[in-house]
Structure 1
């Protein structure tokens, strides 16, 4: 096992680049496929176990909560103990989760299996770190964009593949597919370059991890349950505020410890902070609201003010095909991002997101027209999701890549959930009287909000510093060291 004491940017693996990228594409697909694979099976599971929607919803919520914690912590553990090592552990944990789910004959057992599977939420930050550690700089932006695009496509594949498997053989066989996919990827991961273990990180701040996990879980649970409880519910805010209090205690602890599990001081860096703000904005709008409402418009009946009457199966097929376009555009985003220009690719994504919102509002009445708007939306999503990890890579040193990428993933998922909930609230407050259908005005209002948020994201992106990886890295390290000196409290 290789050991290093700092950055070694010119030290690169002799493994073929194509092999590394291919293995990591499969790892990203495992994560995103498992995140979405149970959506289509949920109604049938509710019927089989005579479960309420809130009880069965834990099949999804358990995965999301564990996935959020894994995304943040796994990246840091990978930076400390070797990214390949932790990647393999998470893939094997996913296999265990699938086995538990397959063997389950109760709702509780299924929820437990899905929660174990949620550890796969930490795979993508590790993938970004492995790419940066092993690929030449000239290939890195395209490789990161391609892996991020594969994750987006894997999420779309989860719905359609799992839906067809469920119709043919039942929900148990969805886990058979996820088991095989994770196991094959875990075996292939041993072909990745030997893990780099960094010295100086042997003392892991486990207390920081213990505080962080319930904090993010409580806040995420409140956000996700706001779909059912509503934003005016005391329960919603009790969980969210409770989580924020725990997270505040966690931040205070991390600022006082010498070797924090998650180094919050790095977020005082200007470029990191602006990148996360931009992530919040597009996650609420383009990734949250727009992503949620597309399937709704496809499948709503034609008797509704807005609805195209497409069957669930055909809507899934359309989403899958459109997702392929987004995956195909990801390498283009990577090429634009070369030389410290990821900001440019992100701004293109914001502009496409704005265009998609306008087109969606104008082309609601025909399947062909709305498909055109969704193709533009997928292009926006592809550019955003592939450029944001590259912005992280430009912003931090190699030793912090997976750690900060994990925070980015948590931010994206949390604010996408907020966006979905806000979109639901807008449509619910604009129903046709005595019907479950939202008015045209409600949909227009939703797309106006998405447009405004896209413009705000463009404005934030305009302040993100451009520059080559070397220039940005040196500036970031100097700024981080200065911030660390300023923030660390004096001993009493």
Structure 2
């Protein structure tokens, strides 16, 4: 239901949301988005030490990431649709609450099974970012929507960049449980802030939940994402990989067939098939693919021994700090991106961000003799990421009715995640295919990294070309 159908005008919303209150709402929703993004990357630097700490296998520890990824893939589109139906603020609170609950469980246990379960609970929080974007798009005064949406969207990259140095610091000075206590504290503050300061969006469609569609979509996404996340362990020659991928294709086709035959579908395929939305989601896959190397190609790269021919033998903390300028630039450029979107349109802004990312990868390929050069290249990629992340939701919002915003942004986030998962599967195989052997340790070679950077740079160029074919329309 739209504002007009409810008898609420934009002027009344702006009057209700004073500048001071709008800043507070943006602050608490932004904090929620930041801690959700932190949760997705914070464990990566400490994974290597967890098998010994938890007295378990490396494959079991890998499920601390895989469980979060699988639940996130399922929850993002489903919770987005539920947010459109029953309230974006309500589902945003559910998402942040799941992060809080999962963090508290993980903070008090060293049992690997409970830790995996806790990380799975945390996975549902991934829906917070598209829900926050959609909620603020309907609540903030018109002149603040662009910068607000850009900031929340940028948090996806900012949290990833800030999580690495924070985890590196904790790894050197405290037990890994401290990471979960930090997440629990920050998510509690965000939850209370949203509960107290942010009203519910008036854009709610109501209706019945498509349970069958949810089950089919969830099963299809699990069958799709699981082999992509486990391909490095299982190998592309494993029957499990291809059986699951085939199962995903069947389940998603059946899901699409059911969506055309129910009165209130989980996914509006007619809206999803609109040309601007198709192109925006295609650009999101390519953009997500391109950004895969920005994390693994920086921290692990500078931490590698100098004997590899490229590394600097840095500590976990220094490896994480190498990503810090990248995250800060994403934050700084969010309002700049909002002004670009207002003056040039979302598609051109997205194309600009993708080109900047490609230039960053070009720098990483050609200039890498000194640590500062690697940091500069990573920062350029971060600049393009911040611009691109800000532009994607603006394109979706411009071509989507208000009562479908959360579902549309959730699906767009899912396509971005799919691109990263595809890049992870391909990139991991690429890095494993050309190695430098140091004693008993095999590390990716400089050639492998250059090939990965070239592949991701090419994906960003394709994303720019796709973006330029998207018709421009100002957001409602």
Q: Which range, TM-score by smaller chain?
A: over 0.9
- Counterpart in the other structure of 1:12: 13
User: 1:18 and 1:425, CA in 2 relative to 1: closer, same or farther beyond 3 A?
Assistant: same
Q: How does 1:113-124 map to 2 (within 5 A)?
A: 113-124=118-129
Looking at structure 2, the residues matched to 117 and 301 of structure 1 have their Cα atoms a distance apart, in angstroms, of: 34
| 2:327 counterpart of 1:323 | yes
Cα-to-partner distance string for 1:47-99 (whole Å, 9 max, x where unaligned): 13321111111111111111111211111111111111111122222222122
3-state DSSP of counterpart to 1:196: coil
Displacement of 1:4 after TM fit?
A: 7.7
Q: How does 1:61-140 map to 2 (within 5 A)?
A: 61-140=66-145
Looking at structure 1, the residues matched to 242 and 5 of structure 2 have their Cα atoms a distance apart, in angstroms, of: 44
The partner residue of 1:288 within 278, 289, 292 is 292
Cα-to-partner distance string for 1:336-360 (whole Å, 9 max, x where unaligned): 1116701121111111112112111
| 2:279 counterpart of 1:274 | yes
Looking at structure 2, the residues matched to 200 and 338 of structure 1 have their Cα atoms a distance apart, in angstroms, of: 28
User: 1:290 and 1:155, CA in 2 relative to 1: closer, same or farther beyond 3 A?
Assistant: closer
| 2:37 counterpart of 1:32 | yes
3-state DSSP of counterpart to 1:89: helix
For normalisation by structure 1, the TM-score amounts to 0.89
Displacement of 1:24 after TM fit?
A: 1.1
The partner residue of 2:371 within 343, 363, 367 is 367
The partner residue of 2:414 within 410, 416, 435 is 410
Contact 2:29 2:152 in 1 (8 A): yes
Looking at structure 1, the residues matched to 437 and 60 of structure 2 have their Cα atoms a distance apart, in angstroms, of: 30
Cα-to-partner distance string for 1:285-315 (whole Å, 9 max, x where unaligned): 2x11343222232122111133233222111
Uncovered stretches (5+) of structure 2, i.e. residues with no partner: none
Contact 2:165 2:318 in 1 (8 A): no
The partner residue of 2:464 within 448, 453, 458 is 458
User: 1:200 and 1:232, CA in 2 relative to 1: closer, same or farther beyond 3 A?
Assistant: same
- Counterpart in the other structure of 2:352: 348
3-state DSSP of counterpart to 1:12: helix
Displacement of 1:432 after TM fit?
A: 4.7
Displacement of 1:246 after TM fit?
A: 1.4
- Counterpart in the other structure of 1:445: 451
Contact 1:5 1:199 in 2 (8 A): no
| 2:175 counterpart of 1:174 | no
Looking at structure 2, the residues matched to 344 and 69 of structure 1 have their Cα atoms a distance apart, in angstroms, of: 31
The partner residue of 2:398 within 376, 385, 394 is 394
Looking at structure 1, the residues matched to 310 and 153 of structure 2 have their Cα atoms a distance apart, in angstroms, of: 32
Cα-to-partner distance string for 1:342-382 (whole Å, 9 max, x where unaligned): 11211111111121121111112221222221111111111
3-state DSSP of counterpart to 1:308: coil
Aligned residues: 469
Displacement of 1:45 after TM fit?
A: 2.6
Displacement of 1:463 after TM fit?
A: 0.7
User: 1:120 and 1:302, CA in 2 relative to 1: closer, same or farther beyond 3 A?
Assistant: same
Looking at structure 2, the residues matched to 427 and 102 of structure 1 have their Cα atoms a distance apart, in angstroms, of: 33
Contact 1:7 1:398 in 2 (8 A): no
- Output the aligned Cα RMSD: 2.3
